[in-house]
Amino acid sequence: MAGPLDRRYAYVEPDHNLWVAAQRRLVEAHDEGAWFLYAQRTVESGRNGMPMFASRNVGDQHVLHKTAFLLPNRLPADPEPTDDGGFDFGGDTRRPARPNLSAVSIEYLLGLGLDPTDQYDADLLFLHALAFVNAPLYSEQHGDSLRQQYPRVLLPATTEQLRVSAELGGRIKTLLDDDVPQPAGPLLDRLGALRKTSGTVDPSTGDLAVTVAWGALQQGAVMPRAGRSSAAPWSPEDRTAAAAQSTDGTIDAEGIEALLGNEMLTVELNDTVRLERVPSLVWQATFGGRNVIKKWLSYRTKTVLGRDLTTAEARHLTRMTRSVAALLMLAPALDESYTAIVTGETE
């Protein structure tokens, strides 16, 4: 991961100095099927947004501003001791991978009647942390603490609370995963479509070139630029779609508009192609101090990237818009779970 919702491919060779500090254990954990929590040690701004991220991919240290620390949900096996006092680094005697749990975490799960050696039960803690820390109320109430230390996670008093929180964390993790189907629904399906002012988008004619200056190279670094966009109020069709999107009863149409922002942006890629219906707070959304969509575009400006977007990248831009919108709509459920845990409320 090069940034939130920004997956790129790189050759990771941990034995030499191609990377400043390639982390062999993280690569080994990935190869064992681990996924990772990305946590900030400290935050620097009240506009930090979600302070914790999740991905199945090993990421760059600066995925989050300024430093991301990766916590794998499972650890690769230590080599098995051999009779001659050495270690066997392969073969059938290799120990299986294990959940990455501290002694306190193991004791906590045992106290709830759960099995800390079972990866599913162990993952409840990781997913709970993802949901608990990303509740908007958490950052509101603990902003000063976040500027000084790692996020502190309160453990639920009951198995039921743990499972509810973990289920929300699982939804966040899914929305951050490029390899699962994009979120859908009457409103989400309207957001982030790429359209041309006349005719259909044709990649073969340069329609996917990002020629509007969303980013520029400056002394070897990519710096954001203002780009070009316009805003308009939500249309009646948008509000109708929002009402249909809220059929589960957890949030109404007015609540959805408040969470996503009361304007819809049209974001221009070039003179004829634009990303349409991007809610204003989706456009402004940040994860770990990184503006998600705008930063992604800054690195895909043609003068920076050196080529047009691929069709896969164009689809990802749409998916990213919808995923961020779906994440923002989780806020009331995250705050409700967070409050229940903090106050010790149970059904």
pLDDT at 2: 60
Q: Is the per-residue pLDDT at 335 higher than 90?
A: yes
Mean pLDDT along residues 85-93: 49
pLDDT at 49: 72
pLDDT at 93: 47
Higher pLDDT, 204 or 61: 204
- 29 pLDDT band, cuts 50/70/90, is confident
CA separation for the pair 240, 223 (Å, rounded): 39
- 347 pLDDT band, cuts 50/70/90, is very low
What's this model's pTM, rounded to 2 decimal places? 0.87
Residues 6-16 have pLDDT tens digits of 666 666 666 65
Q: Is the per-residue pLDDT at 25 higher than 80?
A: no
Share of the chain above pLDDT 70, in %: 80
pLDDT at 52: 85
pLDDT at 288: 72
- 220 pLDDT band, cuts 50/70/90, is confident
- 114 pLDDT band, cuts 50/70/90, is very high
Higher pLDDT, 128 or 291: 128
Higher pLDDT, 316 or 22: 316
Of these ranges, 46-55, 70-79, 231-240, the one predicted with the greatest mean pLDDT is 231-240
pLDDT at 283: 96
* Domains in the chain: boundaries: 24-180, 188-333
Average pLDDT of every residue of the chain: 85
pLDDT at 97: 86
Share of the chain above pLDDT 90, in %: 57
